Structure 1
Amino acid sequence: MTALYEASHEGERYVGFGAPEDATAQDAVLTLYPLGDTDLRAQVLAARGDVAALTAALATGREPRTVPAAEVRLLPPLLPDSLGDALVSGFMQTHNVKVDASTQSQPNWFFKGLGDSLKISGGRLRAPAGAVALTEEAEVVLVYVTDEDGTPQYAGYTFGNDLTDIGRFKRHAGHLSYAKLCDAGVAPWLFLGTPPSQVTGQVVIERGSAEVWRGSFTTGTKALHYGLRDIMSELFSYEGLRHPGRVHYVYLGADRSSFHSGFTIADQDRIEIDFATHGVTLTHTVDWH
């Protein structure tokens, strides 16, 4: 599966295309195209999901550079220069495995942070020192760019880790808004197609040099209790979310996590999430502040 990614190298912005495995393999070399003043978000919207057209628009007439992946800093997909123009949010209890008698017609929505809360693989996920019980959440993330008319336009999808203080939520359901104010892991790859119907993988958590928890997960649109079109239409019916130029990163909820097995993440634990069906691996260390 081909994905788009943005990178910084020697102070300049570049764009690249390829499978995630190609960029993360040992001694990987990337072919990058200089962006200069090009508005990548506008180019993605103009292509309307046509990978060939987008590749041509971003590669034609630009001299490519071949750079070792180790020398490149990958960026969250379509992240605006002004981090305040990125809004990170999501839905909870969306999956069929979590449906019960209390399930609502529209899932609870939460605000998670602005652009600085997004951390690509290798970064550190911040959580408040007073957290009750932290857990990882392996999720599909939808990316929307709000056009000049104030309409959020779907740009593509990626994958993330919605670190959550689930203990605080379980102790007081009204504290969902606090429970979600931890950093979010995100992959730098933007897949330009429709959201995936099925994603499978596994989570490994290490403490020091020892593996302390391992489990598998299933997500994707087939795993959702809710119709994606319906919940996104309801969300973006609120004018306050439709500021032109704003980029939305919407986390779609998770399958069961390590918390449901009785495990609690500790300070400095290392979380590795392998989205095996899509070749994406996210690794983050948790920092309690």
Structure 2
Amino acid sequence: MRLIQCLNDDRLTVAMVVDEHEVQVVDGDEGVYGLAKRAIADGDSLTTVVEAALTETRLDYARLVEERRLLPPLTHPDPAHCLVTGTGLTHLGSADTRSAMHAAAMQPSDKVDESELTDSMRMFRMGVEAGKPSAGEVGPQPEWFYKGDGDCVVAPETEIPSPSFAQDAGEEPELAGLYVVGRDGQPWRVGYAIGNEFSDHVTERFNYLWLAHSKLRACSFGPELFVGELPANLEGTSRIVRDGRTLWEKPFLTGEGNMAHSLANLEHHHFKYRNFRRPGDVHVHFFGTATLSFADKIVVEPGDRYEIDLPALGRPLRNVLGSEDDFGYSAAKAL
């Protein structure tokens, strides 16, 4: 099952994707968030709740796209209660991409002494060796970062802004996990979506300790929420389109079959922190990538369009690069 959120008669509306042409409206308040809360409270699956709430109303999918009425497929009524985070060095090949960015020649080989590895390579090798533990066991923790709250999320088909001080506006085609925390603090995975994690790779490359700064950017995910068992092997394409022509295009792989960590291990190391189990919160967690246009020396410009296509998860995620007005901030003022 695949779901979207959209504006219909200026109202937040959930709809189930019928095909590429139509979506079927689901009755409910508070969007997917409200349906997820109902499923948790009733002890039902989200699929069961959605199927019971389907209406006869159908909407033109292409028209929703054209009129930019699509919304992220999971939102919280209060954006401050939506936390956006992610993990890095999780995919097979991601260490090679990171090394190329940081001009490091070292490879994670068993023949290389542990003391000679970069921190990135050491962390990557830990994931390769033990990132998919058996049930009931815990593997090594991954690289983790914070992007912001729900205010950093932009809807599919809209502009994704880059701040005036940014040195790069690079896409990151990823799988994102979407979660709602129950009243008892138990996290529930609502489903998955295509994500553009969007980072400043020039800032990161200058000094890896600036990774945290490089991640404090906007992002987008959707347009569809995939509900159900995720295929282990997901094949997609990431591209940059400029003036109607493809500037850059590259296939990418995701899903557990292409990752050094299991999704369960990544989820454990996020939700093990009590402050990430606050009842009622929404979490958007990006699972990492190994494919970046930046690694191929592509410089994205305002007006360029990011297109991330992962067919198993529905319609491609598309956003145009925009710019953010200079805030003019210099320093805090004393009261």
TM-score (norm. length: structure 1): 0.88
State the alpha-carbon separation in 1 of the partners of residues 227 and 58 from structure 2: 23
**Structure 1 stretch displaced more, 143-152 or 269-278:** 269-278
2:221 maps to 186
2:2 maps to 3
2:27 maps to 34
- 1:50 Cα deviation after fit: 6.0
- 1:205 Cα deviation after fit: 1.0
- 1:30 Cα deviation after fit: 3.0
> Which portions of structure 1, spanning 4 or more consecutive aligned residues, are displaced by more than 6 angstroms?
none
Aligned length: 278
State the alpha-carbon separation in 1 of the partners of residues 169 and 14 from structure 2: 35
**Residue number among 203, 206, 211 corresponding to 2:238 in the alignment:** 203
Whether 1:43 aligns to 2:38 is yes
**Residue number among 93, 103, 111 corresponding to 2:89 in the alignment:** 93
Q: Is the 8 A contact 2:223 2:317 kept in 1?
A: no
Q: Is the 8 A contact 1:12 1:34 kept in 2?
A: no
State the alpha-carbon separation in 2 of the partners of residues 166 and 37 from structure 1: 36
**Structure 1 stretch displaced more, 115-124 or 34-43:** 34-43
State the alpha-carbon separation in 2 of the partners of residues 129 and 36 from structure 1: 38
Question: Where do 5+ consecutive residues of structure 1 fail to align?
Answer: none
**Percent identical across equivalent pairs?**
26
Whether 1:57 aligns to 2:49 is no
Question: Where do 5+ consecutive residues of structure 2 fail to align?
Answer: 96-107, 109-116, 124-139, 325-335
Relative to structure 1, the CA distance from residue 278 to residue 78 in structure 2 (aligned partners, 3 Å threshold; closer, same or farther) is closer
Q: Is the 8 A contact 2:35 2:50 kept in 1?
A: no
State the alpha-carbon separation in 1 of the partners of residues 79 and 46 from structure 2: 27
Identify the structure with the greater strand proportion: 1
Matches within 5 A, 1:58-137: 58-59=53-54, 63-69=55-61, 70-71=63-64, 73-99=69-95, 100=108, 101=117, 102-104=121-123, 105-137=140-172
Whether 1:255 aligns to 2:255 is no
- 1:128 Cα deviation after fit: 1.8
Give 3-state SS (helix, strand or coil) of 2:210's partner.
helix
Whether 1:14 aligns to 2:13 is yes
Note the alpha carbon deviations across 1:191-216, whole angstroms, 9 max, x for none.
Answer: 12133312112122122343321111
Give the partner amino acid of 1:160. G
Q: Is the 8 A contact 1:158 1:190 kept in 2?
A: yes
State the alpha-carbon separation in 2 of the partners of residues 183 and 37 from structure 1: 23
State the alpha-carbon separation in 1 of the partners of residues 43 and 247 from structure 2: 45
**Structure 1 stretch displaced more, 166-175 or 276-285:** 276-285
Larger radius of gyration: 2
TM-score (norm. length: structure 2): 0.76
Whether 1:153 aligns to 2:153 is no
State the alpha-carbon separation in 2 of the partners of residues 9 and 195 from structure 1: 29
State the alpha-carbon separation in 2 of the partners of residues 209 and 79 from structure 1: 31
1:223 maps to 258
RMSD of Structure 2 on Structure 1 (CA)? 2.1
Give 3-state SS (helix, strand or coil) of 2:122's partner.
coil
Give 3-state SS (helix, strand or coil) of 2:275's partner.
helix
